[in-house]
């Protein structure tokens, strides 16, 4: 056998699903009308939670060869989880789970797992190399309920022990997944069974860390008296650390003999938070404990990390997607929160969003064609064209952006959902960053509410403080605040175009909007006249929000592109540019006169490529390129 040094901290094995959470709190599952989607399943949740806390994790499981399976794989990759052990099963569907919040004690759920992909896990899915690459292998109780996954996990355990690695056991007891109750009893957490107890006790002697609730230790120990159950588990696993989860009471850790009084164990007090949804809290707890355990922290510290992560989970709706990052957890542990409902803590939510955003390229290059009919229609008429063809022209812009990007990250388009609706659909077929403009003061337009947009699209609003603005800022400010709130709630990125009459007033506008709660991910600004102007903008943006992603600069003209970009890129917070009329203007004029699509597409490619080359050259001069 190999004796390689481990590159990973933990490889988890077992269930992975798409969890669909009812958004209507207090409703029966029968009455829920809308659902939010997230990756679920105990080992998948733990792998994601661990990765968010800075651990190196991997998952061994199976997904179907369909959209839900691809979603799981893509999300795990985004989270930094190693998916080399995640197989695609061509014959089975990805598991689904429907979950709801009835009240603070009832959390109905239905497992859709009949012949699902992860239930077909077998010994061939277990790679000695992957097991050997991790400091520990984590197995989960539910996946011992079926013969094939049972064999797979036992193979992983034996490999881990032979390679000198540790074994972690999350008891993860779901009676209905052991066939002890019906499909409608997914919420049930305990039912005694000598068969289940016997199956679990085969595993206990191999374990170095065992984690479970009181009910889970009851089933593992074969007794409904907690001390007796823990004593039975200790007898079978004399060297393991046992962690007893006790909900709002926190946890108790035992690293030696089990005392008659549980309070004599190593206690980890809970955090006083509002219980919103307990589903997945145990998986967050495990991730937090592992963060300390792999860092050789005292068990008291491991318990503190675990309880805090559990507190985050019970205070939010979803499981893995709302687990804390290490930055977020550290802030909470050092500063606390004024809210029992952590989901209402603005500071924590901002850190959470900023540290879990979709990845973007280090620098961005955009072509903009989000202009409306009132902007471009008269120009087309003047050149003898038909404004009805503007939608087709916008699609040509998308094709030009895709050609220049050539599949590489960092290239994108600004589009609208009115004339540019077809272009938006076309852009989604390419690996382009998409910024979509919100149509101010037009709330009744079909499909124009940001909550209806694909979450990958960046929402753009215009804050126009110029004296000659078509719509004064005073009329759009309330709407901008509302859009910012929607973006915060839905985890969407927001870009605000800040327009003023002078360079000096842009920073003031940024500060004003921030004071009104508008904290976008990106600020779009016009080119500044000096390095000092960019420094003021950047310092203001960072002061009001240290988590801002960057400044995007508007391209004035291709003729000035090189000098403007060199000036802008001297400021590290400048992360990209967008060219609108400066790129498409002359091409639109020609297209209006000739309606020659091939010629227009070639011209758009040429002009956009010229702009991106100027930007890349300036980036190299700034020392930020490669």
Q: What is the DSSP string of 313-340?
A: HHTSS-SGGGSPPHHHHHHHHHH--S-S
Per-residue pLDDT tens digits for 98-112: 999 888 788 888 999
Residue 191: predicted pLDDT: 86
Residue 94: predicted pLDDT: 98
Per-residue pLDDT tens digits for 205-217: 999 999 999 999 9
Q: Is the pLDDT of residue 568 over 70?
A: yes
Residue 391: predicted pLDDT: 94
Cα–Cα distance for residue pair 286/65, rounded to 1 Å: 29
Q: Is the pLDDT of residue 625 over 80?
A: no
Q: Is the pLDDT of residue 445 over 70?
A: no
Residue 446: predicted pLDDT: 47
Q: Is the Cβ–Cβ distance between 516 and 478 less than 8 Å? A: no
Average pLDDT (489-506) is 90
Counting every residue written for the chain, the total comes to 626
**Residue 15 main-chain phi, psi, to 5 deg:** -65, 140
Residue 490: predicted pLDDT: 85
**Who has greater pLDDT, 488 or 95?**
95
Q: Is the pLDDT of residue 1 over 60?
A: no
Cα–Cα distance for residue pair 230/228, rounded to 1 Å: 6
Compute CA distances 445 → 375, 418, 434, whole Å: 19, 9, 20
Where helices occur in 31-127 by DSSP H, the ranges are: 42-52, 67-79
Per-residue pLDDT tens digits for 41-90: 999 999 999 999 999 999 999 999 999 999 999 999 999 999 999 999 99
CATH numbers and ranges of domains, the chain: 8-356 (3.40.1190.20), 364-622 (3.20.20.70)
Q: Is the pLDDT of residue 186 over 90?
A: no
* pLDDT level of residue 164 (50, 70, 90 thresholds): very high
Residue 489: predicted pLDDT: 83
Q: Token pair of 376, please?
A: 């471009």
Q: Would you state the torsion angle of the CA atoms of residues 445, 447, 452, 457, taken in this order, to the nearest 10 degrees? A: -100
Question: Hey, which bits of 261-362 come out as E strands?
Answer: 266-268
Among 487, 238, 192, CA closest to 358 = 487
42 Cβ neighbours under 8 A, 6+ residues apart: 14, 15, 140, 142, 170, 172, 282, 283
């Amino acid at each position: 056998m190999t004796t390689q040094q481990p590159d990973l901290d933990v490889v988890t094995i077992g269930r992975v699903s798409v969890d669909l959470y009812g958004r209507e709190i207090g409703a029966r599952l029968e009455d829920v009308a809308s659902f939010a989607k997230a990756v679920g399943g105990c080992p998948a949740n733990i792998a994601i939670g661990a990765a968010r806390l800075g651990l190196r994790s991997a998952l061994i499981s199976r997904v179907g060869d369909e959209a839900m399976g691809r979603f799981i794989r893509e999300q795990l990759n985004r989270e930094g989880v190693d998916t080399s052990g995640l197989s695609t099963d061509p014959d089975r569907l990805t598991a689904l789970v429907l979950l709801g919040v009835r009240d603070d004690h009832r959390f109905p759920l239905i497992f859709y797992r009949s012949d699902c992909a992860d239930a077909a896990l077998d010994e061939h899915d277990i790679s000695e190399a992957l097991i050997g690459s991790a400091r520990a292998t984590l197995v989960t109780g539910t996946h011992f309920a079926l013969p094939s996954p049972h064999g797979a996990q036992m193979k992983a355990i034996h490999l881990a022990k032979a390679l000198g690695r540790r074994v972690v056991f999350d008891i993860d007891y779901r009676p209905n997944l052991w066939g002890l109750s019906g499909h409608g009893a997914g919420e049930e957490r305990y039912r005694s069974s000598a068969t289940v107890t016997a199956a679990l006790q085969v595993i206990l002697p191999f374990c170095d860390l065992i984690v479970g609730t009181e009910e889970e230790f009851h089933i593992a120990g074969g007794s409904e008296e907690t001390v007796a159950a823990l004593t039975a588990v200790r007898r079978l696993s004399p060297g393991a650390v046992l962690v007893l989860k006790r909900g709002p009471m926190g946890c108790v850790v035992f690293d030696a003999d089990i005392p008659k009084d549980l309070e004599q164990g190593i206690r980890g007090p809970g955090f006083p938070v509002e219980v919103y949804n307990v589903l997945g809290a145990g998986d967050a707890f495990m991730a937090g404990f592992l963060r300390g355990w792999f860092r050789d922290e005292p068990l008291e510290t491991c318990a503190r990390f675990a309880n805090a992560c559990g507190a985050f989970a019970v205070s939010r709706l979803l499981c893995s997607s709302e687990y804390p990052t290490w930055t977020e957890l550290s802030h909470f542990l050092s500063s606390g929160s004024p809210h029992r409902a952590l989901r209402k803590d603005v500071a924590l939510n901002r850190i959470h969003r900023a540290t879990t955003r979709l990845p973007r390229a280090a620098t961005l290059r955009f072509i903009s064609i989000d202009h409306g009919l009132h902007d471009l229609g008269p120009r087309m008429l003047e050149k003898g064209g038909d404004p009805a063809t503007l939608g087709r022209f916008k699609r040509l812009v998308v094709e030009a952006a895709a050609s220049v990007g050539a599949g590489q990250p960092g290239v994108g388009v600004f589009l609208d959902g009115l004339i540019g609706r077809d272009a938006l659909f076309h852009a989604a077929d390419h690996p382009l960053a998409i910024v979509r403009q919100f149509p101010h003061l037009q709330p009744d337009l079909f499909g124009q509410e940001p909550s209806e947009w694909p979450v990958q699209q960046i929402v753009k609003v215009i804050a126009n403080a110029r004296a000659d603005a078509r719509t004064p800022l005073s009329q759009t400010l309330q709407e901008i605040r509302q859009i910012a709130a929607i973006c915060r709630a839905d985890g969407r990125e927001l870009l605000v175009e800040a327009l003023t009459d002078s360079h000096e007033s842009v920073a003031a506008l940024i500060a004003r909007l921030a004071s009104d709660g508008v904290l976008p991910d990106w600020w779009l600004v016009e080119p500044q006249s000096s390095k000092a102007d960019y420094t003021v903008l950047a310092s203001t943006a960072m002061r009001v929000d240290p988590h801002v992603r960057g400044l995007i600069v508007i391209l004035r003209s291709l003729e000035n592109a090189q000098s403007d970009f060199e000036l802008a890129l001297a400021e590290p917070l400048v992360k990209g540019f967008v060219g609108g009329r400066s790129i498409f203007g002359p091409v639109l004029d020609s297209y209006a006169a000739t309606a020659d699509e091939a010629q227009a597409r070639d011209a758009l490619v040429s002009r956009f490529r010229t702009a991106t080359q100027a930007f890349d050259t300036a980036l190299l001069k700034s020392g930020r390129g490669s």
